[in-house]
């Protein structure tokens, strides 16, 4: 933002005047222009690259960890020792680093800015991922089939638009800069001469069916992926609902967001209850997994023990647990009060 403001005030666009050949060269050019002091440009660029490398290193470690956890661990976890696992993860980090370096050479052949290329590539992935989260949080009837089909559809459509825009050479309209103060532009040259003008008829080129779709700004790549993920996800979820079991159909309200109750709180409760698919968000349900986590094994003659066979603390009374119940039944820590369960 500072760079664009600086050149707007100066009245000079280095790119349109040919002072730089690529938009990615604007930042180094600005540094050399306003920080033309020995060693300062190098210090600035080294700080810039060190900040970028610190983010890339964490990304490479994350990629290696995800590759091991989701891809290799189910097959090699019991075959490898801890030392071999560590070596394998380091090899994965080095491999992803080599790929990143290779991509840096590919970027030199891509027209446009690095930010445009990054957003066009990462936007479809993040947008599809966000669409799957929206499906699960706001739509109680969404299922795994809808999430899978919606995520793949959203990513493919948005990625297709990004690749096609590069392939056919879509040029985005940019704001024109005043260039009256650029170096070498303030000159006058008057010379007599004769100019022959030949009129030519411009040939109209037929625009493709999807040309307007391809002209969509790359900044909308993530939003496009989210939209094309949610809509097919809803349709597929409703179509495949008969294939789900009753347990799969019932999603605890604690895992969902009551969007209508939050946005339209002024409506009557009966209307909100209907809009929320007749689900009571005022009294969140407890899933079977939570109940299972809160269960404790209780014996008849001995002290209460948890699943790890560790004795629970006893109170002064012989048969009362400190948490306030008798030594019988299931201990549910979420509902325990001083004298028992409510």
Establish if 171 belongs to a structural domain. Answer: yes
Query: Is the pLDDT confidence value at 325 over 50?
Result: no
Per-residue pLDDT tens for 22-58?
A: 777 888 888 888 877 888 888 888 888 888 787 888 8
Q: Write the CB contacts of 12 (distance below 8 Å, at least 6 apart in sequence).
A: 177, 178, 179, 180, 181, 182, 183, 185
Predicted local distance difference test score (pLDDT) of residue 42: 86
What's the start-to-end Cα distance of the chain, in Å?
Answer: 59
For residues 163 and 291, state if they share a domain. Answer: no
The answer to whether 229 touches 142, Cβ cutoff 8 Å, is: no
More confident residue, 234 or 106: 234
The answer to whether 114 touches 48, Cβ cutoff 8 Å, is: no
Q: Residue range 243-266: average pLDDT? A: 76
Per-residue pLDDT tens for 159-216?
A: 999 888 877 766 666 666 666 666 655 444 444 544 444 444 444 445 566 778 888 8
Q: Report the alpha-carbon distance of residue 272 to residue 263 in Å, rounded.
A: 10
Secondary-structure percent of the chain, ordered helix, strand, coil, rounded to 5: 55, 5, 45
Q: How confident is the model at residue 258 (pLDDT cuts 50, 70, 90)?
A: confident
Predicted local distance difference test score (pLDDT) of residue 281: 64
Predicted local distance difference test score (pLDDT) of residue 105: 82
Predicted local distance difference test score (pLDDT) of residue 265: 76
Predicted local distance difference test score (pLDDT) of residue 137: 85
For residues 214 and 322, state if they share a domain. Answer: no
Q: Report the alpha-carbon distance of residue 237 to residue 149 in Å, rounded.
A: 9
For residues 232 and 126, state if they share a domain. Answer: yes
Q: Report the alpha-carbon distance of residue 122 to residue 219 in Å, rounded.
A: 11
Q: How confident is the model at residue 323 (pLDDT cuts 50, 70, 90)?
A: very low
Per-residue pLDDT tens for 104-161?
A: 787 777 777 778 888 888 899 999 999 999 998 888 888 889 999 999 999 999 999 9
For residues 139 and 237, state if they share a domain. Answer: yes
pTM of the model: 0.60
Q: Report the alpha-carbon distance of residue 216 to residue 222 in Å, rounded.
A: 12
| SS3 at position 132 | helix
For residues 291 and 238, state if they share a domain. Answer: no
Q: Write the CB contacts of 111 (distance below 8 Å, at least 6 apart in sequence).
A: 166, 169
For residues 221 and 340, state if they share a domain. Answer: no
For residues 133 and 232, state if they share a domain. Answer: yes
Q: How confident is the model at residue 324 (pLDDT cuts 50, 70, 90)?
A: very low
Q: How confident is the model at residue 300 (pLDDT cuts 50, 70, 90)?
A: very low
Predicted local distance difference test score (pLDDT) of residue 222: 93
**Domain carrying residue 154:** 114-175+210-251
At which of 233, 251, 269 does a domain end? 251
Q: How confident is the model at residue 228 (pLDDT cuts 50, 70, 90)?
A: very high
Establish if 63 belongs to a structural domain. Answer: no
Q: How confident is the model at residue 282 (pLDDT cuts 50, 70, 90)?
A: low
The structure tokens 């159909």 sit at 249
For residues 294 and 169, state if they share a domain. Answer: no
Establish if 127 belongs to a structural domain. Answer: yes
For residues 291 and 167, state if they share a domain. Answer: no
Average pLDDT of every residue of the chain: 74
Residue of 148, 144, 121, 143 lying closest to 229 (CA atoms): 148
Q: Report the alpha-carbon distance of residue 33 to residue 26 in Å, rounded.
A: 10
How many domains is the chain partitioned into structurally? 2
Establish if 52 belongs to a structural domain. Answer: no
For residues 243 and 141, state if they share a domain. Answer: yes
Query: Is the pLDDT confidence value at 61 over 80?
Result: yes
Of the listed ranges 65-69, 141-145, 234-238, 252-256, the least confidently predicted one is: 252-256
């Amino acid at each position: 933002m500072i760079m664009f403001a600086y050149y707007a005030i100066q009245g000079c666009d280095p790119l349109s005047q040919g002072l730089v050949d690529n938009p990615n060269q604007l930042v180094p050019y600005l540094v050399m222009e306003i920080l033309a002091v020995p060693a300062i440009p190098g210090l600035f660029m080294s700080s810039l690259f060190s900040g970028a490398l610190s983010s890339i290193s964490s990304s490479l470690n994350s990629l290696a960890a995800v590759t091991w956890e989701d891809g290799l661990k189910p097959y090699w976890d019991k075959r490898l020792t801890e030392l071999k696992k560590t070596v394998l993860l380091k090899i994965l980090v080095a491999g992803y680093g080599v790929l990143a370096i290779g991509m840096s050479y590919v970027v030199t052949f891509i027209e446009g800015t690095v930010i445009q290329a990054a957003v066009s590539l990462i936007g479809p992935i993040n947008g599809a991922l966000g669409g799957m989260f929206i499906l699960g949080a706001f739509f109680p009837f969404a299922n795994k089939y809808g999430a899978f089909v919606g995520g793949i559809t959203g990513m493919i459509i948005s990625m297709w638009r990004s690749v096609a825009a590069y392939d056919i050479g879509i040029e985005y309209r940019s704001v024109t800069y005043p260039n009256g103060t650029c170096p070498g532009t303030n000159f006058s040259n008057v010379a007599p001469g004769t100019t022959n003008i030949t009129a030519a008829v411009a040939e109209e080129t037929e625009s493709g069916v999807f040309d307007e779709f391809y002209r969509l700004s790359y900044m909308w790549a993530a939003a496009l992926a989210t939209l094309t993920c949610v809509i097919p996800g809803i349709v597929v979820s409703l179509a495949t609902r008969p294939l789900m079991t009753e347990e799969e159909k019932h999603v605890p309200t604690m895992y969902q967001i009551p969007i209508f109750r939050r946005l339209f709180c002024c409506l009557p409760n009966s209307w909100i209850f209907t809009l929320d698919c007749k689900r009571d968000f005022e009294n969140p349900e407890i899933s079977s997994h939570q109940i299972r986590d809160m269960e404790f094994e209780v014996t008849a003659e001995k002290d209460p023990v948890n699943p790890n066979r560790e004795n629970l603390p006893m109170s002064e009374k012989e048969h009362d647990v400190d948490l306030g119940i008798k030594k019988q039944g299931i201990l549910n820590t979420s509902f325990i009060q001083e004298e028992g369960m409510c």
